[in-house]
Chain A
Amino acid sequence: MKQSWGVRLWRWTIISIVGAYLLVPLYAMFDFSTKPFGFADKGRTFRAWSIIPSQPDLIAAVTRSLITAAIVMALILFLIVPTAIWVHLKLPALRRPFELLCLLPLAIPAIVIVVGIAPLYRWISIHLTESPISLAGVYSMLILPYTYRSLSAALDAVDIHTLAEAARTLGANTSRVIFGIIMPTIKTGIVNGSFIAIALVLGEYTISNILNYKTFQVVIAQIGRTNGNVAVAVSLASILFVLFLLLLIPTKKRRSEVLDVDLV
């Protein structure tokens, strides 16, 4: 069919352009990371990749960033999700103000946020801990716009009021309603929000750098100042790692055919 050919051509053209836009920089990074950077190197070399593990601070920084991400995820699960559910269920009048509050980090530039919280973190580093893991606090604020939107969309998609009331009449208390009924129901929204948050935490640079914390991105930047090839190799590895995490987000709900719809 003529039209179908035209449509297919158009479709593939768009896919090719978008694919090139996304993949060419990645290829360029890969290309650069495998170029010779020492006198001994000849032709292509994976030396920049092979010396990644021996970079000072890198493994520790990755570990710290992953722990921070895990803490942020725990904060999402045990603080942000129950709060969003509570606001949707019990305090509908607060929905708009809560949404506005959650969107604020998006409107305020990171540099302004960091100036605002610097005194607090100075106090934390003196009196509590110098560990970059304490950044989980400010990160859990930064991820609010993305996590809340994702949760809010999931909560709006199901009639959580009726589900909650059904569970209550059957004998469930509030925590059982939230953790046993509503959270499993909006699982996809929670997973989406959490992964986006992890990607954001692993990729954050401005705040951790200004507050002098050695996180993953800060260490990559440091390596970049001494060895460009290794820095690009590490960056590419981190992009692929985050991409891998994002690919884990379920794109489609499991839905099988509706059975026996002719029956009552």
Chain B
Amino acid sequence: MSSSTYVQLVDLAKHFGKVRALDGLNLDIAQGELVALLGPSGCGKTTALRALAGLQELDRGQLIVDGKDVTFQNANKRGMGMVFQAYSLFPHMTARENVEYGLKLKAHKTAADKRKARSTELLELVGLSTHVNHYPHQLSGGQQQRVALARALAISPKVLLLDEPLSALDAKVRTQLREEIRRIQLELGTTTLFVTHDQEEALSIADRVGVMRNGQLEQIAAPAELYDRPKTSFVAEFVGLTNPIAGKVSGGEIEVLGSVIKTLPGSVSSGTGIALIRPESIDVVASSSGNATVAAASFLGASCRLNITMNDGSRVTAQLPSSDAAGIGAGAKVKVSLLDLPVFVKAAG
């Protein structure tokens, strides 16, 4: 345990029948850090979060928060603030009453005037100062999740737990709210565990992102490192897009698409391997004597995605800034090469 570790999940295991939701999960979170757990459905990310909240019993493992073992502590005594995927505001209470609810209970008992000041401050923080007396049914989905966030923060939680709180919202609201969650988290310095299956969401707001698979952490790292230097083929393929292209590996390098590039640690070390190449690592220039033809071009705003057929019949996807892709459309002859960025290589077959 490093000196700054605030939350520790040690060797967590949980089975649901024959399904292993958690299988020896270990995770350390530093104080004030926002860690996102990312992974496909059923990878155990929500089970881990619920275990930390005290809402899920474990078969094995230990949960340590601020140096104290909370593994067997009841959920109502753990002091965790949680925002759920489903709308969870108490329907018979106004926004203010919802926020003040935790402060009325024994665990966080606060005097009425301080409670009111706290709810006012938090509803202001989430941008709902004009909605304090609204009932949940009078609020939109995004507003309800903001109140839920204020309610979770009201008890000054040891850890803020976010269980896919944005997944029920539409894309625009989702983007806006995730940025606000990050702003508020940084402002209050609350240690936060954020579970999501949306990689854009995880990569954009987390200090570190943990990719989970089969109940274990596959890799945990800062978003850029996770994207640029994946340690396993699962992480490389799960986070972002990749082009699987076969090539010859030797001496920590792979020869692929006519270029020789370095391989990342954990890659296949010899023989034939499959390089997992990011679309933006492929350089494309228009050339009548090129080695490929553009099959289709999709304009994405700031960037442009090209589906390219190589002269040998293989297909790759490239993504380049729209300004560089000007004049390259379907049917154009192009020269494809690779940028000199290390790549993860998985075993062939």
Contacts and interface: CB of A to CB of B under 8 A. Distances in A.
A63 interface: no
A171 B79 CA distance: 7
B76 A185 contact: no
Interface stretch (A32-40, A45-53, A131-139, A253-261): A253-261
Given A258-B137, A260-B131, A176 B81 contact: no
Contacts of A264: 127, 140, 142-143, 146, 173, 176-177
Interface string B48-89: 000001110000000000000000001111111110101110
A8 interface: no
Nearest to A173: B76
Contacts of B106: 171
B299 interface: no
Interface stretch (A77-85, A156-164, A197-205): A156-164
Interface string A206-225: 00000000000000000000
A172 interface: yes
Contacts of A166: 82, 84, 88, 90, 148, 151
Given A187-B92, A259-B134, A171 B82 contact: no
Contact of B143 (A163, A171, A260): A260
Given A158-B91, A258-B138, A259-B138, A169 B75 contact: yes
Interface in B171-208: 173, 176-177
B140 A260 contact: yes
User: A165, A171, A257 — which one has the most chain B CB atoms within 10 A of its CB?
Assistant: A171
Given A169-B53, A263-B143, A264-B140, A176 B105 contact: yes
A244 B138 CA distance: 32
A224 to B, nearest CB: 46
Interface string A180-197: 010011010000000000
B139 interface: yes
Nearest to A258: B138
B107 A169 contact: no
A8 B106 CA distance: 59
A171 B140 contact: no
A162 B81 CA distance: 14
Contacts of B101: 167, 170, 172
Contacts of B161: 169
Interface string B142-164: 11001010011001000001000
Contacts of B88: 159, 162-163, 165-166
Nearest to B50: A165
Contacts of A170: 76, 81, 101-102, 105, 107-108, 151-152, 155
A122 interface: no
A168 interface: yes
A159 B86 CA distance: 8
B76 A172 contact: yes
A255 B137 CA distance: 8
A220 B96 CA distance: 53
B91 A185 contact: yes
B176 to A, nearest CB: 5
A162 B164 CA distance: 13
Nearest to A158: B91
Nearest to B177: A264
B114 to A, nearest CB: 16
Interface in A18-42: none
A169 B162 CA distance: 12
B55 A263 contact: no
Nearest to A264: B142
B317 to A, nearest CB: 34
B225 to A, nearest CB: 31
A169 B82 contact: yes
A171 B137 contact: no
Contacts of A262: 140
Which of A167, A173, A255, A263 is the most central at the interface, judged by chain B CB atoms within 10 Å of its CB?
A: A263
A163 B84 CA distance: 10
B140 A167 contact: no
A162 B82 CA distance: 11
B90 A167 contact: yes
Closest 7 CB pairs of A and B: A171-B107, A170-B102, A171-B105, A264-B142, A166-B88, A184-B92, A168-B75
Given A166-B90, A169-B53, A181-B90, 8 more contacts: A166-B88, A169-B82, A176-B105, A187-B92, A255-B137, A256-B137, A260-B131, A263-B143
20 contacts: A159-B86, A162-B88, A165-B84, A165-B88, A166-B88, A166-B151, A168-B74, A169-B53, A169-B55, A169-B75, A171-B102, A171-B107, A176-B105, A185-B90, A258-B138, A258-B139, A259-B138, A260-B140, A263-B143, A264-B177
Interface of A: 158-159, 162-163, 165-173, 176, 181, 184-185, 187, 255-264
